[in-house]
Amino acid sequence: MKKLDTLSIGLMLFSMFFGAGNLIFPPFLGAESGTSYWLAMSGFIITGVGLPFVVLFAVSLVKGGVQTIGNRVHPVFSTVFMVIIYLCIGPFLAIPRNATVAYEMSITPFLSESWRNSSLSLVLYTVIFFSLVYAISLNPSKMEKYMGRWITPILLLSMVILCAVGFVKLDAPLQSPAEAYQTGAFFKGFIEGYNTMDALASLAFGIVILTSIQQRGVRDSKKLTEYTLKSGMIAGILLALVYVSLGFIGGKMAANGSFENGADILSSASTLLLGQSGTALLGFIFTLACFTTVVGLTTACGQYFSNLIPKASYKSVVFAVTLAGFTLSNLGLNQILKVSVPFLVTAYPLTIVLITLTFFSRFFKNSKKVYRSAMLFTGVFAMIGGLNAFGLDFGPLQTIRNILPLSSVGLEWIVPALVGTGIGIVLSKFSKKQDVPEQVDVKVS
C-alpha cells in the first residue's frame, strides 16, 4: 500500500473521530483548568486519543475483531454489548448529538428570533444533512476519497486559521483553576476524555478502517495491523494537536468572563477574533466535523448490523440509521445530552477492561473465567456510577463504592476490576479444562 493511501486513510479516520464532542470539550477544559491546564489536558489526551488508538490496535490484532474479543466473555455478552455500543454511538446518541450541534453552531447564529424559536428550521436543516449522509454512506468504498482527500484537508485548514489567529491575538494569562480542577486535575481530564466517545467509536470504526485497507489488496494479518497502526497514529497526532490548540484558546478566553460550555467559548472566541466572518468560519468547522463523524458512524452501523442480521441489507440498515438519527435530532440537544454522561460512565470502564485483558490474554491462556470475573466486578461498579449520574443512590453498595480508592475522581471501578481479574486467574488455575474461545470471522462489506 502506498504512503499516500496510508495518509488518506489516516485523514479519513481523523475526520470520523472529530465530531461535536471533540470540538466542545477541550476549550471548556482549558477554561476550567486554568493554570492546571497541562495536567488536565494530559489526562484528556490519554482517554481522548491514547485509548481509541489502543482499541484500534486490539481490534486489528484479533482475528474476528471485536466479536471475538467479546466472545471471550460470552457470545451473548459480545452481541448485546456491541449492539448497545453501536446504537449509542450511532442513531440513539452520537449521531443526533452531532447533527444538532452542527445546526446550533452553523445555522442558529444567523437566524432571526422568530426562526430560532421555530422547530421548522431544524427540520429543514436535518433533512438536507441526513440526505447527504445517506448518499455518501451508501458508497463506503468511496468514503475515503470524499473524507480523506477532500473534506478533512479543508477542515484542518479551517482549524489552523482559527487557532493561529487565537494564538496571536489572545494573550491573557491562564486563570486560577475552577474548583473541580484544583485537586486531581489529571484525573478530571481523564474522565472528561470519555465525552469524546472515541474509544467506543473505535470499536465500530475498526471494521471500516480494515475494510479500506483490504480494498487495496492487503490480506496479510500482520500488514493489516501495521497499516491500521500507521493510520491510527496519523489520526491520533492530529487529534492531540487540535485538542491542545482548542484547550489553549479556552484557557486564554477564561479571562473574558464565564462560559456555559465549550461551544459558548468557541463562539465568543471566533467573534472576538474575526467578527462575523469568524462566526461563519466556526459554523463551517462544526458542520464539516459533525458531518464526517456522522457518515463514519452510519457506515460502521451499516456494516455491523448487516453482518449481524443476514436478512438486513447494508442499504436498508443505513436508511434506518439515518431515519432514526433524523428523528432523534429533532427532539433537541438538551434531551440528547442528558443521556450521554450516565451511558459513558458505564460503558467506558467495561471497554477499558475488555481491551486491557486482550493485550494480556496470552498470560492466562484466553481463559473465559478471567474475562467473565473481571467484567462482572467492573460492570457492577460501572453501572452504579452510571446510575449515580442519573441521581440514583444504592445504599450499602453506594457506601462500598464511596470508600473504594479513586472513587473521588470517578475511577472506583479500577480496584474491583483488578480483584475480579485476580479471582478469575485463581479459578482458571484450578480448572481442569482450558476454555480458549473460538476464533470468529466477521464478514467485511
Give the domain CATH number at 205: 1.20.1740.10
Sign for the pseudo-dihedral over CA of 40, 32, 105, 321: positive
Query: How much is the pLDDT for 130?
Result: 96
pLDDT bracket for residue 48 (50, 70, 90)? very high
Is 443 inside a domain boundary?
Answer: no
Query: What distance lies between CA 142 and its chain's CA centroid?
Result: 23
Residue 162 has pLDDT above 70, yes or no: yes
> Is 92 in contact with 10 (CB distance < 8 Å)?
no
Contacts for 303-308 with beta carbons within 8 Å, 24 or more apart? 303/140, 303/207, 303/208, 303/211, 303/444, 303/445, 304/82, 304/86, 304/204, 304/207, 305/86, 306/445, 307/442, 307/443, 307/445, 308/79, 308/83
Distance CA 202, CA 181 (A): 28
Residue 193 per-residue DSSP state: G
Task: Domain of residue 11: give its range.
Answer: 3-341
Is 295 inside a domain boundary?
Answer: yes
Average pLDDT over residues 95-114: 86
Distance CA 225, CA 415 (A): 31
C-alpha cell read off for 370: 478471567
pLDDT in tens, 24-45: 899 999 999 999 999 999 999 9
Predicted TM-score (pTM) of the model is 0.79
Q: What angle do CA 214, 218, 224 make, to 5 degrees?
A: 85
Is 389 inside a domain boundary?
Answer: no
Distance CA 170, CA 173 (A): 9
Query: How much is the pLDDT for 340?
Result: 66
Is 384 inside a domain boundary?
Answer: no
Mean of per-residue pLDDT scores for the chain: 85
C-alpha cell read off for 420: 475480579
Is 380 inside a domain boundary?
Answer: no
Query: How much is the pLDDT for 441?
Result: 42
CA distance to 105, 106, 107, 117, 267, per residue, from 111 (Å): 11, 10, 7, 10, 15
Is 378 inside a domain boundary?
Answer: no
Is 349 inside a domain boundary?
Answer: no
Contacts for 362-366 with beta carbons within 8 Å, 24 or more apart? 364/424, 364/425, 364/428, 365/428, 365/434, 365/436, 366/72, 366/435, 366/436, 366/437
Residue 143 has pLDDT above 80, yes or no: no
Query: How much is the pLDDT for 50?
Result: 93
Which string of b and e fits 11-39 if b means at least 16 CB within 10 Å?
bbbbbbbbbbbbbbbbbbbbbbbbebbeb
Q: How many CB atoms lie within 10 A of CB 360?
A: 10
Q: Is 157 left (phi over 0), alpha (psi -120 to 50) or beta?
A: alpha
* Residues of the chain above pLDDT 70, percent: 91
Please report, as a single letter, which amino acid is at residue 408: S
Distance CA 155, CA 235 (A): 13
Distance CA 202, CA 293 (A): 12
Distance CA 230, CA 23 (A): 24
Is 258 inside a domain boundary?
Answer: yes
Residue 326 has pLDDT above 80, yes or no: yes
Average pLDDT over residues 344-360: 87
- Number of structural domains the chain divides into: 1
**DSSP result, 244-311:** HHHHHHHHHHGGG---SSHHHHHHHHHHHHHHHHHHHHHHHHHHHHHHHHHHHHHHHHHHHHHHHSTT
Distance CA 16, CA 84 (A): 19
Residue with cell 428570533: 113
